[in-house]
Structure 1
Amino acid sequence: METLPNELLQQITGYLGRKDTSALARTNHEIYSAVNPVLYKDNFVHDRPSDSCVLWAARRGRIETIKRAYSLGANLETTGACSDTDMPLPWNETPYRNGFASGMHHVLGGRHDDTFYYLLQRVSNLDIPSLFFCQCAKWTGGSLEFRWWYPLHQAIVHRTEKPELAAALIARGAYLSSMGYHALCDAVQVGSEYLIDLLLQHPQVSVKDVTWHGETALHCAAKFHKDEAICRAMIRKLTNLGVPVDLKDADGKTALANAFQKRNLTAVEELLELGADPNAVGRDPVGRGPLHLIPSFPHRTREMDAESFQVRRLDAVRRLVEAGADINESTGDREFDDAPPLWFACLKDLRVAEYLLSIGARTDIPIFNEFRSGKQYMIAALLVQTDVLCVRRFGWSMSEQRVRDLEETVALLLQHGASIDEVQSTDDGEWSDDDDDDGGSALLYACHRVVRQGSACLEILLKHGTRRNVSLEHLQKAMGTYFFDLGADLEDELPDGNEVIQCMLAEFVAREYPEAVAGDNE
């Protein structure tokens, strides 16, 4: 057969199936040279786009296969989608694929750089979309078409070790990461001043450009970077280039609001230093403002020890207060925590709590949280929440040692007048008065713990408390209550903790309300 003309061999393949044609091509080199183009063209015409030989070769870095396919008329821009209507469909509604991506995406992802440069010189469209090729779609939000990432996104974000790849795309005119996402934001995300400068030389790019959601590159800089030096450099560079520091996105959020949302202390410090308005930050979906959020900022960087981080966090709190933040404003959220900033500080950072108390933070604001249906004063809420979290995490109530770990916080609150009494109902029914719930007050909760776990909680309250923290009436109510362990077997003979409770309460009354004891003696 090797003596037959190539044209005749190719006509013969028209009577053969794909498998037989492939077997014929492997007979010898001469027949392979004649028949192989038929297999390529058959792939172009009859196979699903997702089975394109271009995509197969791009995944494996087979540049010779791509060259041969291109010489025979292959579409180097195929993504595996049959048409544009495939792209918006959920992956499970389009057979035979779990995402779309072009050969450019695949060679960048597979680090086949020689193949990348070959394709770069031959594709005409640099804004080829991909879908579910990388995981970045999870955090950008928005309509699906805004997350059809182009090759430039892949080069900037996922090939940070070789910025020259992104530079080559930019040199050919690329400047978008997707339909609604500017490549400038990607360059900021990876902290590349080199790529930022290249993009700003592009005639279609301005430093004030925004994404589909109205975010500038400064909004993006406030979200990213655990590396402090890069974070500060990006923010400084963008503001020096003229990005307004308080520009709002489509949701009305400024760059400073993004920094608070992402718990990025470095970005918060830098933006405040540059004059960002903390009063323009607004509230998150559960009503927390900057002063509610900052105590929970985590210590993320190895560049700074925990002590320095706490000092810096406290300094940021001072700046917010100096800018007019209300230290007693509650979140107003009834699903999670309806509480003032002091509550969040007591949970996360005692230094911040001490500072807030020193400038007049109130301890008499009732707390509502997810762990109880009614409101409680702060100490009761702290004890109940800690107890419930221990049960959820370990399967049992908090230990006596865990109670003693809270002593410093409880003592600080008591020193500043925090009540261990019950929250009384108001006429409008805003607060709940659950007299039958032992968690209704810190005192009743502590008394109940004596018969269940131990006396540490009651000891702490009575040791640091004074008459300003609890009314005589509530003390008398506790002394007139018989406490028992709901989880105990009533037939078991257990020591009666009520005698301990009565003794401890009587000593406290004698110390803080001597006139009541004298009246009883008379």
Structure 2
Amino acid sequence: MDVEATIESVPYDIMLVIAELCTRDVRPLDNGPPSSYARYHAAMARTSKYFHSILNRALYVRNIRKDPPVDSCVLWAARKGNLGTIQRAHEYGADLDATGARDETDYDKSWASIPGRIRYFASPLHLAIKNDYPSIVQYLLFNGVDVHSQARNLCGCQEPPFSGKCYPLHIALAYEDEEGSGTDYAGLLVQHGAHKIADDVPALADLARAGRLDLVDTLIQREDHFSVTAALHYAISKQDLGLVDNILARDGADAGAKNWKRYGPLHIAISEATDDLSIINRLLQRPEVDASDVTPGWETPLHIAASKGRTDIANVLLERSDVNPVAETLTGLNALHLAVQSGRKDMVDVVLAIPHFPVGAVDADGMSALHHVCRTREDTDEARAILESLISHPDIHLDLVSNHGTPLFMAVKNRNFTIAAALVRAGSNINPPSPAQALAAPASLLHECLLSYSEGQAELVHELIQHGADVNLMTPFHGKDATPLFFAAAFANNVDAVRMLLEAGANIHCLVRDLWVPFESCMTLITAILETFFDRCHPGHLRRESIGALSACLELLLEYGAVLGLPSRPSEDNFHSALHCAMQMTAAGYQDILDVLLRHSEARNISEDYLDDFITGQIDMTRQGLIPRASLEKLMEFRTRIFPRKRSQSWNDSSYADLLISNSLHYDF
């Protein structure tokens, strides 16, 4: 008699073969990562308890051995908080320290070359801490996972020392302020031996910033070489002399050992030094300390002292035979360059007093100490005193051309006009050659300094004029081909500079060419000034003080005969006059400019024929309701004041009176 066979009667080994055959060569339809190939196996395991008992272990083993590491079930469980899955996977041989990386090289490879669906690496410990699963964290720590495993792209820290790679203790500190279970993950990690936040980066500083001084004290007591060195660096950075002495007294303490930045204890001590130099003196007494030791940027302790203006430290260092006073950094900076950058005249004097010091030496950009004075915008008594010291030194070349130009050019470019004026008085060339890195010849220094208003501008303009600057030089600059007079009024709004240029013979009738217009476009001086000023100010946001400064410049230009009409020989029919621009600004709500032009103009500033033609056009526009009637009235009053003897043939008092009472006006201005 035949016995009916059931699926449950299939032997154990045969069921595993069937499960394997069901998943062979299976790939997702979209050719994505093949982790879903096991879905048939998983479906069979869920069919009955019998199948589950046979196939579940094999399913875990398949994931551990065949799936991409980033798709590990252990990592999934750490993200989701499923401790049971982690325990079962661990029982079946899963690595609790797996991060998803196939090997160490994956940490630096492109993600496109790494299989799997997850685009970061992290150990289960990282993930459990980040997602606040204390039971999983405790299970992992109990089973001895690596507390210094490395993640990649788990947090947003992409800058050194992390560069996207961090240890679990960093994650614990980064997320400790978030609401959650309140578990002290940092304390648990330190208890289990954690003392780094990234590769070669001690946790002491981060723990101190987080206020975990209890954990700081714990780590300071560690006796391994890395921890002793880290504790020494920490003590020096905190300027704790007692702790420094305590650590230096330990066996194996190395006062020359460097941190992850490749800075040694002496570099750190000088960088963090207070008025008390006891720690620096302690370090200099140690035989392993090299007083000329360099950082990755080739900075020596003397360089650091000079950059901070610490004459007391520099003097201590210069007394030692192992200090090289003329050493240069990776970018060619010497102690004098750095002393100048510090802005401390006494520090500069200390370096200048070093016998045979190369005062005229240049850095990698070809800049001498004088260039470094001119690259700052700080106008202080100290900076001026440093400048005088360098100018008077025989090894300093006033007109040395660096990649960024001469010292004078750099001072003007950096808006340090007091320094620039002093250089002009000292004899610097006011027509410097192009900087080595310039793509085109620079504008004249007059043009450059008048690009915007800055303190000391009038003084520099005066010195440049006194030393022969061409006040009528036309130079293509910032969209306009114009003389310095245009930039003084339109960009700097500096009435003192405008007056100096006019008194020096600046041509009031020189036209301005707009370089942004595709055809030849020339404007009178005031027209160009008004158009530029209006274009540079956001409509509706003209500042009253800006209009006031511009008005003062316009008054002075009109006094010297600037015209309100068109150029004497316009090359195009559609030129806008200064009056036209002023009416545009009035329509935008700024009638102050029109008032200034009309109040300060005389017959010399506009021809009678042009004014009559302009008023005729404005009458027609007023009838159409396009301009305010009050503005037309001001024009009529202006016409009557400057040309009182004759009336225009194109309009008369009666037609104007008719206009004022006309019902055709659409707006009540």
Q: How does 1:97-116 map to 2 (within 5 A)?
A: 98-116=119-137
1:53 deviates by: 0.6
Contact 1:246/1:255, CA 8 A, preserved across alignment: yes
Separation in 2 of the partners of 1:328 and 1:505?
45
CA offsets 1:116-138 (integer angstroms, 9 cap, x no match)? 22211113544433444456564
Q: Could you tell me which residue of structure 2 aligns to residue 366 of structure 1?
A: 399
1:151 to 148, 156, 168: 168
Q: Could you tell me which residue of structure 2 aligns to residue 203 of structure 1?
A: 223
Q: Could you tell me which residue of structure 1 aligns to residue 71 of structure 2?
A: 51
Distance change (3 Å), C-alpha of 1:196 and 1:159: same
1:52 deviates by: 0.7
Separation in 1 of the partners of 2:336 and 2:52?
73
Contact 1:61/1:107, CA 8 A, preserved across alignment: yes
Q: Could you tell me which residue of structure 1 aligns to residue 263 of structure 2?
A: 215
Gaps of 5+ in 2: 1-5, 23-37, 230-253, 489-498, 507-669
CA offsets 1:147-202 (integer angstroms, 9 cap, x no match)? 96443454466758899534433333344555544455765787865444322322
1:248 deviates by: 3.4
1:80 to 100, 107, 110: 100
Distance change (3 Å), C-alpha of 1:237 and 1:149: farther
Distance change (3 Å), C-alpha of 1:458 and 1:365: same
Distance change (3 Å), C-alpha of 1:110 and 1:412: farther
Q: Could you tell me which residue of structure 2 aligns to residue 63 of structure 1?
A: 83
Separation in 1 of the partners of 2:54 and 2:371?
78
Of stretches 35-44 and 273-282 in structure 1, the one that deviates more from structure 2 is: 273-282
Separation in 2 of the partners of 1:148 and 1:489?
51
Contact 1:256/1:271, CA 8 A, preserved across alignment: no
Separation in 2 of the partners of 1:166 and 1:422?
63
Gaps of 5+ in 1: 224-230, 297-312, 387-404, 426-430, 507-522
* Residue 286 (structure 1) aligned with residue 331 (structure 2): yes
Q: Relative contact order: is structure 1 or structure 2 higher (C-alpha 8 Å, sep ≥ 6)?
A: 1
Q: Could you tell me which residue of structure 2 aligns to residue 461 of structure 1?
A: 460
* Residue 356 (structure 1) aligned with residue 386 (structure 2): yes
Separation in 2 of the partners of 1:159 and 1:111?
10
Contact 2:173/2:186, CA 8 A, preserved across alignment: yes
Q: How does 1:64-463 map to 2 (within 5 A)?
A: 64-84=84-104, 86-87=106-107, 89-96=109-116, 98-134=119-155, 138-140=159-161, 149-155=166-172, 164-177=184-197, 180-183=200-203, 193-204=213-224, 205-207=227-229, 208=254, 209-211=257-259, 214-216=262-264, 248=293, 251=296, 252-253=298-299, 283-289=328-334, 292=337, 317=344, 320-321=347-348, 323-324=350-351, 329=359, 332-333=362-363, 335=365, 337-340=367-370, 343-344=373-374, 346-357=376-387, 362=392, 365-366=398-399, 368-372=401-405, 376-378=406-408, 380-383=409-412, 385-386=413-414, 408-410=418-420, 417-419=425-427, 421-422=429-430, 445-446=445-446, 460-461=459-460, 463=462
Q: Could you tell me which residue of structure 2 aligns to residue 308 of structure 1?
A: none
Separation in 2 of the partners of 1:458 and 1:185?
47
Contact 1:342/1:356, CA 8 A, preserved across alignment: no
CA offsets 1:343-366 (integer angstroms, 9 cap, x no match)? 246424535413424766659633
Letter in 2 for 1:107: A
Indicate the SS of the match to 2:79.
helix
Separation in 1 of the partners of 2:104 and 2:56?
30
Distance change (3 Å), C-alpha of 1:447 and 1:170: closer
Q: Could you tell me which residue of structure 1 aligns to residue 39 of structure 2?
A: 19
Of stretches 240-249 and 90-99 in structure 1, the one that deviates more from structure 2 is: 240-249
CA offsets 1:261-286 (integer angstroms, 9 cap, x no match)? 9xxx7xx8899699788987964443
Contact 1:283/1:289, CA 8 A, preserved across alignment: yes
Distance change (3 Å), C-alpha of 1:340 and 1:42: same
Contact 1:81/1:100, CA 8 A, preserved across alignment: yes
Contact 1:331/1:340, CA 8 A, preserved across alignment: no
Contact 1:130/1:148, CA 8 A, preserved across alignment: yes
Of stretches 268-277 and 26-35 in structure 1, the one that deviates more from structure 2 is: 268-277
TM-score (norm: length of structure 2): 0.47
Distance change (3 Å), C-alpha of 1:254 and 1:99: farther
Indicate the SS of the match to 1:76.
coil
Letter in 1 for 2:258: V
Contact 1:157/1:190, CA 8 A, preserved across alignment: no
Separation in 1 of the partners of 2:337 and 2:39?
68
Q: Could you tell me which residue of structure 2 aligns to residue 303 of structure 1?
A: none
Indicate the SS of the match to 1:347.
coil
Separation in 1 of the partners of 2:475 and 2:449?
9
Contact 2:46/2:52, CA 8 A, preserved across alignment: yes
Higher helix share: 1
Q: Could you tell me which residue of structure 2 aligns to residue 484 of structure 1?
A: 474
CA offsets 1:42-83 (integer angstroms, 9 cap, x no match)? 212222222111111223333332223223332111122334
Letter in 2 for 1:356: I
Separation in 1 of the partners of 2:305 and 2:82?
44
Indicate the SS of the match to 1:56.
helix
TM-score (norm: length of structure 1): 0.58
Letter in 2 for 1:172: H
Letter in 1 for 2:126: H
Letter in 2 for 1:170: V
Letter in 1 for 2:99: T
CA offsets 1:239-292 (integer angstroms, 9 cap, x no match)? 79979796835635457867999xxx7xx8899699788987964443345665
CA offsets 1:80-108 (integer angstroms, 9 cap, x no match)? 23345545545444333644332122233
The structure having more radius of gyration, on CA atoms, is: 2
Contact 2:360/2:397, CA 8 A, preserved across alignment: no
Distance change (3 Å), C-alpha of 1:333 and 1:322: closer
Distance change (3 Å), C-alpha of 1:125 and 1:368: same
CA offsets 1:333-381 (integer angstroms, 9 cap, x no match)? 3647445266246424535413424766659633534455xxx352x43
Letter in 1 for 2:150: P
Indicate the SS of the match to 1:366.
coil
Separation in 2 of the partners of 1:318 and 1:407?
19
1:12 deviates by: 2.7
Contact 2:204/2:219, CA 8 A, preserved across alignment: yes
Letter in 1 for 2:347: L
Separation in 2 of the partners of 1:280 and 1:139?
31
Separation in 2 of the partners of 1:36 and 1:260?
69
Letter in 2 for 1:80: G
Number of corresponding residues:
417
Contact 1:49/1:78, CA 8 A, preserved across alignment: yes
Distance change (3 Å), C-alpha of 1:56 and 1:485: same
Contact 1:100/1:130, CA 8 A, preserved across alignment: yes
Separation in 2 of the partners of 1:458 and 1:448?
11
Separation in 1 of the partners of 2:388 and 2:69?
69
Distance change (3 Å), C-alpha of 1:354 and 1:72: same
Distance change (3 Å), C-alpha of 1:295 and 1:505: farther
Contact 2:45/2:55, CA 8 A, preserved across alignment: yes
Separation in 2 of the partners of 1:114 and 1:281?
60
Indicate the SS of the match to 1:206.
helix
